[in-house]
Structures are given as C-alpha cells and as structure tokens.
Amino acid sequence: MQQTRVSQTEEERILQGDIFRDVDYVERVSEEAGIIEVSRIVFPLAIVLTQDCDLAQDYIFRHTEPPPSTQDKWLISVLMAPIYNAEHVYRGEHLNDLGIKAELISKNKSPGMFLRNNERPRYHYLEFPAEIPIVASVIDFKHYFSVHVEYLRQIKPTRFVCTLSPLYREDVCQRFATYLSRIGLPDALV
C-alpha cells in the first residue's frame, strides 16, 4: 500500500478530502413533556466527500459582495464518512461504540490484503505520512452522514487535520460513488 499524499495547509473554505477530528453528528432529537433530548455521535475522524465544485460555489456565493439575489448555490449540508483505526476494523471493533459488532477481517490473510489494496468496495484504506499523527486507517463508506456546512466552517480552525491531495481525494470519492450506486440483488426465492 502506498502512503496517502496529504497537505496540512489549511484553506479558508471547506475542501473535498478535508479530514477533521471530533466531528459531531446529531443522530436524533426527541421531545417529551417539554424536555428535549439530543443524541449525538462524535466521530474521532471523518472525511469530506461532497464534490469540491459544490463546496467552492457555496463558498464563493456566500461571500460575494454585494450578495447575490438568490442562494441556490448554497449547500445545506456536507457529506462525510467516518475514518476508523485499521486495527479496530481488522478486529471487527470499529463500530463497538455504536453497539454494532462487525465482521473480523483476517489482517494477514487474503481478506486483510484485499482491504489494504482497496479491493473491498465498502472500505478505503489509508496510510498517512509520518508528519500526520494518524495511524493506518479505513474509511467505512456504509456509514456516511451529513453535517451542516456552517458547522464545519466553525470547527475548521481547531479540528482540521489535513486534506487529501486531489488525486487521492478523487480516488476516494469515485470509490464512494461506486459503492453508493451498487445494485442490490434480491435474495433467491426458496
């Protein structure tokens, strides 16, 4: 597996391929007898999957002076995917905090090799350079989520880790799109 190329230079706007730490995801909100309960998940690491052209247009049209007469280029939310420690994925523990038991992936046999070579459609394996304090990791495309675009702008100064170089981010997003567009086949009738 080749090391992932990244940049730690922080751009003002959100970029496709940006990696953030401690990303809040509001799982659900409920109200009973005037008491509001918010259930949230904090993902230790997550990557931006939204197309960069949409992120660029959102940024430009929000900061144009004078303001445009329409806001149809503004984004409501940004699509993201969690990034997990690869060792936790091998052991089937990466979803334990969510109460989900995952399959074991034999690290030193074919299943682990397929994962590291990005031959498993659900996952994308990443190895970071030494200057990025992230262990070998896996993006899990099955658990994508969205957050408000303004939330990401607010946390970027303190929670931005790095951004994938354009070729690597394109690879990740192509693989995500392929995973998302797969065709589910019905179970055979017995």
pTM listed for this prediction: 0.89
Q: Tokens 């052991």 identify what position?
A: 91
Q: Go through the domains of the chain in sequence order and give each one's CATH number.
A: 6-179 (2.30.30.110)
Q: Is it the case that residue 189 has pLDDT exceeding 70?
A: no
In angstroms, what CA-CA distances link 164 with 76, 169, 184? 23, 5, 30
**121 CB burial (10 A radius; 0-12, 13-18, 19+):** middle
Please count the CA atoms within 13 angstroms of the CA of 167 that sit on its side-chain side.
3
Question: What pLDDT, in 10s, does the model give residues 75-118?
Answer: 999 999 999 999 999 999 999 988 889 998 999 999 999 999 99
Mean pLDDT taken over the chain:
90
Tokens of 86: 């690869």
**Cis ω on the peptide bond leading into residue 133 (within 30° of 0)?**
no
Question: What pLDDT, in 10s, does the model give residues 7-32?
Answer: 887 788 999 999 999 999 998 899 99
